[in-house]
Copies of this chain bind each other. A is one copy, B any other.
């Protein structure tokens, strides 16, 4: 049986981002069909001081990449976050999935005890074990942004359901 630290991170991110990619494709098609400006969805927020859809997707991808890389002991890939369209977000999600595909389960061998430094060099710097980093920080953050992206689209009338959010499991 593969190490739980791998099973509970990389394949979860792949499942959820593959599902999110399909949801975003539906949103794109829905906007085109209903003559909705893409930005009416991409810039939609649930409250003025929350992130818009586009940023929720970017941050979800950031967490998937960052958490996986840190736990695997690999370099965290740089990402500018300059996407502005559905097509660019789709490319971002594809690239993120490719990156996740490239991570091997063996890289997670010692990930539970690997020391992770959150917000290094800032006053809110915090040291966590890999296990706690994934359980108590990474997964809550990742799911927050994936779910909020879904919630923004539901709130704006996209006809999707929980099944679309869950993806294939």
Contact = CB atoms under 8 A, between A and B. Distances in A.
Q: Identify whether the interface residues of A are mostly helix, strand, loop, or mixed.
A: helix
Contacts of A151: 46, 147-148, 151
A26 interface: no
A12 interface: yes
Contacts of A165: 140, 144
B1 A134 contact: no
Contacts of A112: 1, 4
In this complex, the interface size class of chain A, counting residues with CB under 8 Å from chain B, is: 35 or more
Contact of A154 (B47, B137, B166): B47
A128 B143 CA distance: 21
Given A3-B4, A8-B8, A11-B136, 12 more contacts: A1-B113, A8-B131, A8-B135, A12-B136, A12-B140, A50-B154, A137-B166, A139-B143, A140-B169, A143-B143, A144-B150, A147-B148
